[in-house]
Amino acid sequence: MPGFDPDSFANMMDDYIEIADANIKQEYKRELNALKGLSPEQIEQFGGTTSQMNEIIKEVENAKDKNLKQAALIDNLKKLGQSTYDLAKKVSALVP
């Protein structure tokens, strides 16, 4: 049975995060397009107005921006973690 390879694991997690990020961005885009594609008649069928729908779209866009900023923060923390791990490997190589 092969041993645990931290680099391989880190690469696998990077790939997973990239795929998840792309999926989230695609889902936001799909949802926003669906909302923007509603006609005034369709909006009225739901008991709303176009101004209410515009507010909903604004809120969804704000949530998207906030989530993407959080994703960027996670990415930065992940890079910092990798840098720390790389530094620890170099330091441990210096210790007899």
Tokens matching residue 34: 């669906």
34-88: per-residue pLDDT in tens? 888 989 998 888 888 888 888 888 888 888 788 778 877 777 777 777 777 777 7
5-15: per-residue pLDDT in tens? 778 888 888 88
Q: Within 10 Å of residue 6's Cβ, how many Cβ atoms?
A: 10
Cα distance between residue 32 and residue 90, in whole Å: 47
- Rounded to two decimals, the pTM is 0.54
Helix pair 50-94, 6-36: axis angle to 10 deg: 170
Q: What's residue 1's pLDDT?
A: 46
Q: What's residue 5's pLDDT?
A: 79
Q: For residue 2, what is the DSSP state? A: P
Closest Cα partner for 25 from 58, 64, 62, 61? 64
* Interior angle at CA 29, CA 27 and CA 32, nearest 5: 105
Q: What's residue 96's pLDDT?
A: 63
Cα distance between residue 93 and residue 10, in whole Å: 20
Q: Where do the domains of the chain lie?
A: 47-96
Query: Does the pLDDT value for residue 91 go beyond 80?
Result: no
